[in-house]
Amino acid sequence: MKFGCCLIAVLTAVLSFNGSAYAVECKTQIDIPQRLLDSRLTLLGELHGTSQIPDFVGAYVCNLASRVRSVALALEYEEEEQPLIDAYLASDGGIKARRALLGKGRWAVPTQEQDGRTSKAMFALLEGVRQYNQAAPDRTIKVRAISGPDDASMSRNVRALTLENQSAHIVALTGELHASNGKGNVFDPAAEPMGYLLRDLRPISLVAEYDEGMAWNCMGAGQCAPHLSLSMQIERGARFSISMRPPSERPGFDGSFYVGKIEASMPAD
């Protein structure tokens, strides 16, 4: 299994002094718009179960950490998963540490119940953060589990994270419906998504755009497997590019990030 491929280049993860901070060379470069650099809270709306979206997020937080003072990555895991995540990030990343994470909690549920949030790509994202933090102990990227039973609880968890880390740039990766900053969705016009409930913090919400491909997700109880996901009608830029133009067919978002053709990421094992 290949871990953290797009967060840092392991062979070139050498600290280099840059002004008053140490930075790690990121394998994949991303042009981050100034508007995002100026914002303390970015919400990324994803399609669970792809290889490409976690790769983008890893590259994004690596590039962001080289430009700002502090970064915290909020992920859609239940709060009960936090000790497992903390233990893995503090570990040597060896077989014993991997088994300790993958053998418990959401990671250990049967394959047919895995919804894409505990995929190989998501594990690689955590491994990449672990490697980054070891290479830059003075510039560590924090990871926080912020999921809950509903959007209200998720918004409270993100809000608490902003209060605990007042100098940090927070990047929250959740399903698309949670990340929207507009009221209502295709299922419920009265729904109040996490992004909408955080609107007083003026978050910037970006939605994933991609070409047709496969994603590991669930179409019903016990029906989790690779499924076809159609592409959007978008103005495509380069792979891993960011557009600050609100997508006309995706209300509730300030812009988008494009990851190219998607491939299903199997559950981590």
Q: To which residue do tokens 């419906």 refer?
A: 177
Give mean pLDDT, residues 31-45. Answer: 98
pLDDT at 171: 99
Q: What is the pLDDT of residue 7?
A: 57
Confirm if 219 and 205 have CB atoms less than 8 A apart: no
Domains of the chain: total: 1
In a domain, residue 143? The reply is: yes
Prediction pTM value? 0.91
Q: Count how many Cα atoms sit within 13 Å of the Cα of residue 160 in the half-sphere of its side chain.
A: 11
pLDDT for 249:
81
In whole angstroms, how far apart are CA 253 and each of 205, 208, 217?
5, 10, 22
Structural domain harbouring 210: 34-261
CA atoms within 13 A on the CB side of 184: 5
pLDDT of 4 reads 52
Residue where the block lists tokens 């991997």: 98
How much is the pLDDT for 17?
A: 29
CATH number at residue 38: 3.40.50
Question: Residue 130 corresponds to which tokens in the numbers above?
Answer: 């672990």
Contact 173, 73 (CB under 8 A): yes
Between CA 65 and CA 227 the distance in angstroms is: 34
177-207: pLDDT as tens digits? 999 999 999 899 999 999 999 999 999 999 9
By the 8 A CB rule, do 147 and 79 touch?
yes
Q: Reduced to 3 states, what is the DSSP secondary structure of residue 116?
A: coil
**What band does 250 get if pLDDT is binned at 50, 70 and 90?**
confident
pLDDT band for position 32 (50/70/90)? very high
Average per-residue pLDDT for the chain: 91
Cα atoms in the 13 Å half-sphere on the side-chain side of 137: 2
Neighbours of 97 (CB within 10 A): 17
204-243 tens-digit pLDDT: 999 999 999 999 999 888 889 999 999 876 667 789 999 9
Query: Mean pLDDT throughout 63-69?
Result: 95
Question: What are phi and psi for residue 250, nearest 5 degrees?
Answer: -130, 70
Using DSSP, state whether 8 is helix, strand or coil.
Answer: coil
Strand ranges inside 9-166, DSSP E: 15-18, 21-24, 41-46, 71-78, 141-147
Report the length, in residues, of the chain. Answer: 269
Tokens of 67: 């430009």
pLDDT digits (tens, 9 = 90+) for 131-166: 999 999 999 999 999 999 999 999 999 999 999 989
Residue ranges in 40-144 assigned as alpha helix (H) = 52-65, 82-89, 95-102, 120-135
- Cβ(146)–Cβ(161) under 8 Å? yes
So what's the pLDDT on residue 21? 44
- Of the listed ranges 7-11, 32-36, 88-92, 143-147, the least confidently predicted one is 7-11
Residue 4 phi, psi (nearest 5): 60, 35
